[in-house]
Structure 1
Amino acid sequence: MNELTDNQISTYQFTDDGTIPNNPTYPLVIYKDILTSTDNPEQILAHNNWLGSWRGGIFNQHHYHSNTHEVLAVVTGEAFLQLGGASGKQLAVASGDVLILPAGTGHKLVDSSPDFTVVGAYPNGISYDFCTGQPQERPQNVDNIATVTLPAKDPLFGIQGPLFNYWQ
C-alpha cells in the first residue's frame, strides 16, 4: 500500500433526499490512490475482518445497503459514480482508490472504462441487503440504518485506522 496522507482523504456527508436515506451520522470516506497494483485487496480486507468479498462492477442504478457498511476498492480502471442518491455528488474514482460507504449511502455507476473493477466487502462478512429507494422499503430501512454499529476495524488500517477520525 502507498502511505496515506491527510490530503488523500476526502469525506462527504449526504442528507436524506426522500428516496435514498444516506447515513445521518457517518460520512462517506474516500482514500485516494492508496492501493498499488501489487496489493491483494481481498487479503487486506479479510485481515481487518471486512469479509464476504466479491470482485466485479457496481450496479448502474441508485441503491444502498440498510443493514451494513460497505468498502469498495477500485482495483482496475476508472469510473464516475453518483454517490448519495440523485441529489448527491458525482465523483471520479480510479485504480487505487478505496471508498468506505456507511450503511444507507446511495451509490450508482454512471460511466466507466471497460476494465473498471472493484472489490467489495462488509464488516464481519454481513450479508448485505439491496435497497433501491422504493417507498414500501423505506420505514424499515431507515430503522435498520440507525442500528448498524461501527466496524471494529478500518478496512485497510485496522484498529488505529483513520476511518475512526471520521466515524465516531
Structure 2
Amino acid sequence: MQTTVTALRFEPWWFVPSNPRLPTLIYEGAFAPDAADLVTQMERRFSENGWPPQWRDGIYDFDHYHSQGHEVLGIAAGHAKLMLGGDTGREVDVTAGNVLVLPAGTGHRRLSQSDDFLVIGAYPPGQTGDIVREKPTSAMSQRIAILSFPPRDPVVGEGGPMLRLWADTSAL
C-alpha cells in the first residue's frame, strides 16, 4: 500500500493561532483500511514511535486547538469531513487508514462523519491535548512556537516525513 503525505499550512483565524513553523501533515493510506484490528495496529505503531495513544473517540464538532501538545489522529474506522485551520483553512475528507499530525495551535473540527467513525489520539511524552477555544495569550503563543517535537515520526519512525518537513522549518 502506497502512503501519500500532504503538508498544509494555515494562517491564523479568529481565535485559532495555527502554527507559524510547522505544517499539518495528512498521511493517506498509512494503514490498510480493511486490516484486522486496525485500532491495535495504530496504537502499537504510534507507541513504538514515541507517541503513546491516549484516547479512542471521535473529533469534536467545534473549532479548537491544543496549546500544550502536538497531536496525531489515526482514523481507525469510518470516514469524516474535517475543517482544519478554522473557517479560512481547508476541508479534508479522511477515511480509515489515514493519519493526521497536527502541530500545536492547529484548529480542527468535525463537519460530518459516518456512524462508525473512530479516531485514535496520541501526543508525544510530556505533552497533552488541552482543549482551547479562545484567542491565545502572548505566553501561550510563545509556548506553541517553541514546543519541541519528538524524534520519531508517529507513522514511519526514524527518517519519516514529519522529521524532514518539520526539521526544514524548525529554525524559522
| TM norm. shorter chain > 0.5 | yes
What amino acid sits opposite 1:142 in the alignment? S
Could you list the per-position Cα deviations for residues 111-155 of structure 1 after superposition, in whole angstroms to 9, with x for gaps in the alignment? Answer: 0001011101001152221101x24x4333212201211211100
Q: Which residue of 2 aligns with 1:96?
A: 97
TM-score w.r.t. structure 1 length? 0.90
Aligned residues with identical type, % of pairs: 36
Query: Does structure 1 retain, via aligned residues, the 8 Å contact 2:53–2:120?
Result: no
Give, as a single letter, the amino acid of the residue that structure 1 aligns with 2:49: N
Q: Which runs of 5+ in 1 are unaligned?
A: none
Q: How many residues align?
A: 162
Aligned equivalents of 1:162, 1:111: Cα separation in 2: 28
Q: 1:164 corresponds to which residue? A: 163
User: Residue type matched to 2:156 in 1?
Assistant: F
Query: C-alpha separation between the residues in 2 aligned to 1:128 and 1:88?
Result: 21
What TM-score do the two structures reach when normalised by structure 2? 0.88
**SS of 1:145 mapped into structure 2:** helix
- The CA distance in 1 between the partners of 2:78 and 2:27, in whole Å, is 16
2:11 corresponds to: 15
Q: Aligned ranges for residues 45-84 of structure 1 at < 5 Å?
A: 45-84=46-85
Seen in structure 2, the aligned counterparts of structure 1 residues 95 and 125 have a Cα distance that, compared at 3 Å, is farther
SS in 2 for 1:109: strand
* In 2, Cα distance between equivalents of 1:125 and 1:74: 23
Look up the equivalent residue of 2:24 and give its one-letter code: L
Distance 1:11 1:81 in 2: 15
- Where do 5+ consecutive residues of structure 2 fail to align? 168-172
Compared CA separation, residues 61 and 113, structure 1 to 2 (3 A): same
SS at 1:111's partner residue? strand
